[in-house]
Chains A and B, each alone.
Chain A
Amino acid sequence: MNMIQNLPWLFLVLPLLVAAIDWLCFSKCPKTAATLSTLSAAATFGLCIAYLSGLQTGIPGVYVWMPTASAALDLHLGLITDDLAMRMMLVVTGIGLLVHIFSIGYMKGDSSNLSRYFAGLSIFMFSMSTIVLADNLAMTFIGWEMVGFSSYLLIGHWFHKASAADAAKKAFITNRVGDFGFLLGILLTIGVFGTLTFADMGNVSGTAVAPALLTAMVICLFCGAIGKSAQFPLHVWLPDAMEGPTPVSALIHAATMVAAGVYMMVRLQVSMGTEIFTETACLVISTVGAITAVMAAIIATQQDDIKRVLAYSTLSQLGYMVMAVGLLAGEAAMFHLYTHAWFKALLFLGAGAIIVCCHHEQDIWKMGGLAKRMPLTVLCFLMGTFALIAVPGFSGFFSKEAILDAAIVNHPTFFWIGAGVAAITTFYMTRLCLVAFLGSARDHGAEHATEAGPTMVLPLLLLAVMAIISGYGFMADKLVPAEGFTAPGFHFGFTFYVSLGALVLGLAAAIVVYGWGKRERDPLAGNFISKALRNRLYIDAIYDKLVIGGIQECGARIIEFIDFVVIRGLLVQGISWLVGRFGVLLSWLQCGSLRAYSCITGLGLLIIIIIIAL
């Protein structure tokens, strides 16, 4: 086997190795660990660039892990290096690299174990790369679980903080719910296609299969995406995951991990063929996406925590992507995923920089006037905001247009939903910027804010550039994770005017409500709608009460039954009772009468004689 063929395996081996070395060898030496992790991210990024600029190494080797009776069902580890995967890798490693660099600055002075943090980042890179490069669903699932595990590590990095530990647990467990469906979907895939390898799926026509079965399969697989991409109703973990360090939020919860669901769905569409996605399945997927987009956008309007606003905007944008997947517009979904990755990473890292500079203050109502104190960061943040609210010319604009275009062709309802969400998005992002950056500081933290250090600003600047230009053809054509993608560019049609209208509407509404940074309190707060939104529409509370409470109550009942009836009642007391009764019975034999004893002896003698003689 040719060594050079196996070069793509470096994408997986390098971060894993570095994670192990960081944790095992340099746990007392965080600087070395950070350097190693960053270097490995840089190396994988460089490798990715090399592949995209035309490096050909042939098909990487396949390792059969668990052979089965039929070769088609062998559990093997193989890599796929098509455009979709490699360009996705560029997003993953590129943003990963920037997050690594940013983390060095952000985590400076943090008292927690930084080696663990960087080891976690590396293992995350490894897992994410596994998902992206996997050439079969089983391997995807392995990466899927690994991502869940590493996000657990990273969200819970400050595990001594109860909320962080809870958030990590919540993310992990919520994802398990989705993974269960995903696993069922994988089994159904075996049933339908007889293989898990993406490359072989195209050879099998799924049209002969009953549509109901196909629908079930797609929806089950989509369950995995619901969990990982935080779609309604499993979205609850994502806002809580903001308890992790901000670079982690940028890496995991903006650019990569949550995109895994969308990537997986698009990968399935590409390999299985869009005809597998039945009408019902598509409708379910789009509806889930649309619900998530609307709900998250509405909730975001009343969030005060800068990271939570961004988290809900992430949810909302993911809703867009999923909607696009459901509309069979995989290219548009990936386009939006790609632009969103850059500008959302920018927003998160910018938010991180702001938080650090405001001495770990996250409430936007305690900030204010930041535009004067840290202009560079704010400028970058604004670039990200513009991209997010789809100001024409910014990257987000093009990708959102692509989705809306797809929607108006396929399903006009979703088009209007998308446009509405765009207006709300503009509203809450403008609110965030107006409140945080303009006016005067409302708290000590914001008063003493200064510009962040170079390791933080540099990634911001790079990302800001990407947020602006990544939507244009010269970049997008080469970098959007889709085969033969061509950027749509400007075209002034119906969609353009509608989204421009939405933008203006949102901007105007936000400026009217929040003024030019003079407000001290949210004028919309206080009523019951605001209260409901601040409480995330009570969805978390309902889950806590019904699902978790119910399960716990049920479990408690079962355990109580086992504990009290089976263990205490039957095993402990039952046995002691039995022994006691038996003892009482036997104590009757111990009557203390010599004659009775001799009588028993005589009987025993008789029995022995009978046995021997007869």
Chain B
Amino acid sequence: MTIPLAHYLIFSGILFSIGLAGVLIRKNILVVFMCLEMMLSAANISLVAFSRAQGTNGIPVYDAQVLSLFIVAIAAAEVSIGLALIVAMFRATRSVDSTSLNTLKD
């Protein structure tokens, strides 16, 4: 009994889509940011699945896993910067509502 690669990809795609939906429908910028992280981790899953699927004799192709490791690291850096931005934004506007970020429009 094996699991087809497609199932992993579908899982990762659905997770990614949910993250995308969150980014699109949520107003709270913190939650939007969480959803972004979720999308990144969904991408990680598909990468690891590919690494497994492309391997020979049960030995995965580790290049893909290294790539996903990098994604995790970048995500960490991104979170630190992003949260700092959110804090700065909150200081400026006393709000974390993304719809209030429209000063450039006027």
With a cutoff of 8 Å between Cβ atoms, the chain A residues found around residue B27 in the complex are: 595
Interface string of B15-39 (1 = CB under 8 A from A): 0000010011111010010000000
With a cutoff of 8 Å between Cβ atoms, the chain A residues found around residue B3 in the complex are: none
Report yes or no: A592 in contact with B23, Cβ–Cβ below 8 A. no
Q: Which of B83-106 contact A (CB under 8 A)?
A: 98-99, 101-106
- Closest-CB distance, A54 to chain B (whole angstroms): 99
User: Secondary structure at chain A's binding surface: helix, strand, loop or mixed?
Assistant: helix
With a cutoff of 8 Å between Cβ atoms, the chain B residues found around residue A111 in the complex are: none
Interface string of A582-604 (1 = CB under 8 A from B): 00000000111111001100100
Interface string of A26-62 (1 = CB under 8 A from B): 0000000000000000000000000000000000000
Q: How far is B27's CA from A593's CA once the two chains are assembled, in angstroms?
A: 10
Report yes or no: B101 in contact with A595, Cβ–Cβ below 8 A. no
Report yes or no: A592 in contact with B98, Cβ–Cβ below 8 A. no
- Closest-CB distance, B91 to chain A (whole angstroms): 18
Report yes or no: A592 in contact with B24, Cβ–Cβ below 8 A. no
Most buried by A among B20, B26, B32, B101: B20
- Closest-CB distance, A464 to chain B (whole angstroms): 95
Beyond A602-B20, A602-B24, whether A595 also contacts B105 by CB under 8 A is no
Q: Give B29's nearest chain A residue, CB to CB.
A: A594
Q: Which of A568-614 contact B (CB under 8 A)?
A: 590-595, 598-599, 602
Q: Give B106's nearest chain A residue, CB to CB.
A: A592
Query: Tally of A-B residue pairs with Cβ under 8 A?
Result: 31
Count of interface residues, chain A, beta-carbon cutoff 8 Å: 9
With a cutoff of 8 Å between Cβ atoms, the chain A residues found around residue B98 in the complex are: 593-595
Most buried by B among A594, A599, A602: A594
Report yes or no: B104 in contact with A592, Cβ–Cβ below 8 A. yes
With a cutoff of 8 Å between Cβ atoms, the chain B residues found around residue A598 in the complex are: 23-24, 32
Report yes or no: A595 in contact with B102, Cβ–Cβ below 8 A. no
Q: How far is B98's CA from A590's CA once the two chains are assembled, in angstroms?
A: 14
Q: How far is B52's CA from A240's CA once the two chains are assembled, in angstroms?
A: 104
Task: Please tell me which one of the listed residues B24, B103, B104 contacts residue A595 in the complex, with CB atoms under 8 A apart.
Answer: B24
Q: How far is B90's CA from A106's CA once the two chains are assembled, in angstroms?
A: 97
With a cutoff of 8 Å between Cβ atoms, the chain B residues found around residue A592 in the complex are: 101-106
Report yes or no: B102 in contact with A593, Cβ–Cβ below 8 A. yes
- Closest-CB distance, A607 to chain B (whole angstroms): 14
With a cutoff of 8 Å between Cβ atoms, the chain A residues found around residue B29 in the complex are: 594
Q: How far is B23's CA from A372's CA once the two chains are assembled, in angstroms?
A: 116
A-B contact pairs, 7 of them (CB 8 A): A591-B102, A591-B105, A593-B102, A594-B29, A595-B25, A598-B23, A599-B24
A-side residues, CB < 8 A to B, are: 590-595, 598-599, 602
